[in-house]
Amino acid sequence: MSAVQYDPVAKIFHWGVLVLLAAQYAVGWIMPPIHRGTQPETWINLHLSLGTLIILVMLLRLAWRITHPVPLLREGVPRWLVGAGHATHHTLYALLLVMPVLGWANANSRGWDVTLLWVLPLPNLVPAKAPYGHVLGDVHMDLAYVLLGVVALHAAGSLYHHVRLRDGVLRRMLP
């Protein structure tokens, strides 16, 4: 039995966030380490800009999801599996909003300006030289690993639906 398809806008948000996230991790891996006195240069500025873009896209995606409910699964999917799927999605949304905000706040604590789409200056979330700024950066980095784990869980769940349950869950998000 085939599950109901997501609408094209939801699919664009889904795959667009994946592309942004992959780019963000690649840039985060390439950029130089950030220490006291580091100045934002090309890679760091790109990382900050991608982070603000992820916030924007996630807010738009969240608004879309609230106004366009998720297509229901077919009957017979175990309740625990539905609950695990909801928990995974809520965790993904939370991490994809909290992580960039923590990075933004950490940048502000270093005295760095953060912009949206490389043009629009954003307000400072914390003052420069805030004593807790380094903690925000540490939590940001720790959550990056947590996010990778949750993304892997999400992908594994999709594959489980596709290979084991054969219920069309994976196909409903494919282009």
Q: How far apart are CA 54 and CA 155, in angstroms?
A: 20
pTM of the predicted model as reported, rounded to 2 decimal places: 0.91
Q: Taking a C-beta distance cutoff of 8 angstroms, is the pair 49, 117 a contact?
A: yes
Q: Please list, residue by residue across 11-34, b when 16 or more beta carbons sit within 10 angstroms of its beta carbon and e when fewer do.
A: eebeeebeebbeebbebbeebeeb
pLDDT tens track for 130-171: 999 999 999 999 999 999 999 999 999 999 988 998 887 788
Architecture, CATH, for domain 8-173: Up-down Bundle (1.20)
Domain boundaries, the chain: 8-173
Phi, psi of 166 (to 5 degrees): 50, 45
pLDDT, residue 84, reads: 92
Record the tokens describing residue 78, joined without a space: 């175990």
d(Cα 169, Cα 3) in Å, to the nearest integer?
6
Report the distance separating Cα 117 and Cα 51, nearest Å.
10
Element holding 86 (H helix, E strand): helix 79-109
pLDDT tens figures, 121-141: 999 999 999 999 999 999 999
Contact at 8 Å (CB) between 112 and 129?
no
What is the predicted pLDDT for the residue at 1? 43
Tally helices (H) and strands (E) across the chain: 4, 2
DSSP H or E segment with residue 115: strand 115-116
Helices 133-160 and 8-30 cross at an angle (nearest 10°) of 130
DSSP for 144-155 reads HHHHHHHHHHHH
Mean pLDDT throughout 7-14?
95
Among residues 168, 147, 28, 32, the alpha carbon closest in space to that of 98 is found at 147
Q: What local confidence, expressed as pLDDT, does residue 119 receive?
A: 87
pLDDT in tens, 89-125: 999 999 999 999 999 999 999 999 999 888 899 999 9
Write the CB contacts of 37 (distance below 8 Å, at least 6 apart in sequence): none
* pLDDT band, residue 3 (cuts 50/70/90): low
